[in-house]
Amino acid sequence: MTTHRLQAQSIGQVDYLAAYEAMQAFTAARSESTPDELWLCEHPPVFTQGLAGAASHVLAPGPIPVVATNRGGQVTYHGPGQVVAYPLLDLRRAGYFVKEYVYRLEEAVIRTLGAVGVTGLRVRGAPGIYVRPDDPGSHRRRLEPAPGEGLFDGLAKIAALGIKVSRHCTYHGVALNVAMDLEPYSRINPCGYAGLRTVDLSTIGVTTTWNEVAAVLGRELEALLAP
């Protein structure tokens, strides 16, 4: 059997709708022998609404466009200073299912954060990765809230995840906040949660660059999404 190695390629800043249409076209045209790809990019300011998204979660978009997409999940924001990773992967060939795929995406983000001394956390039932802004290096793990604790008490979201699987092939992906203008998040209920705080690495005291984070996340995804 031929091995198809997933290889990251940085495509720089690209309009969201152009990237979305390119992912759809790539997936529709691919065959069983098409090599998998991993696109790393960033987008000009845009709100994207997933299939489960309610219009009421877009509070005040202002001049920022809102694009309806076919990914899972609710509304999120993309903008400069955010690393967006789009794995275009044949899951049947990779040999694992969607639940495992999501776990591996999140694990790649967790390892990328770990490389800069930040502990990334999962919250059961709320896809994406979270951090403790007041203690980002804490190693105390948290899958679900303690008794009497709210779902996101003490946490903020740093990476959003939304995927689409068509004919066993993935597109859309994960977005990790590096150094952004975070104000647009106040114009939505991020991922459908009113009041959910969203941060980036800069906010929690990490000085790094888009290129550095993209390179690490790309390497982690290449390794973790392998068959």
In-domain check, residue 50: yes
| pLDDT surpasses 90 at 227 | no
Q: How many domains does the chain fold into?
A: 1
Read off the CATH number of the domain in which 22 is found.
Answer: 3.30.930.10
pLDDT of residue 1: 43
Higher pLDDT, 92 or 138: 92
Beta-carbon count within 10 A of 195 CB: 9
Length of the chain equals 227
In-domain check, residue 28: yes
| pLDDT surpasses 80 at 203 | yes
What residues are annotated to the active site? Answer: 191
Higher pLDDT, 146 or 20: 20
In-domain check, residue 87: yes
Beta-carbon count within 10 A of 207 CB: 9
In-domain check, residue 61: yes
In-domain check, residue 34: yes
| pLDDT surpasses 80 at 148 | no
pLDDT of residue 153: 87
In-domain check, residue 181: yes
In-domain check, residue 45: yes
Q: Which residue range is the domain that position 178 belongs to? A: 7-117+160-192+207-224
pLDDT tens for residues 7-54? Answer: 889 999 999 999 999 999 999 999 999 999 999 999 999 999 999 888
| pLDDT surpasses 70 at 131 | yes
pTM summary value: 0.94
Give me the sheet containing 75-78, strands edge to edge: 66-68, 46-49, 75-78
* Backbone angles phi and psi of 127, in degrees to 5: -55, 150
pLDDT tens for residues 149-173? Answer: 677 889 999 999 999 999 999 999 9
In-domain check, residue 23: yes
Average pLDDT over residues 68-89: 96
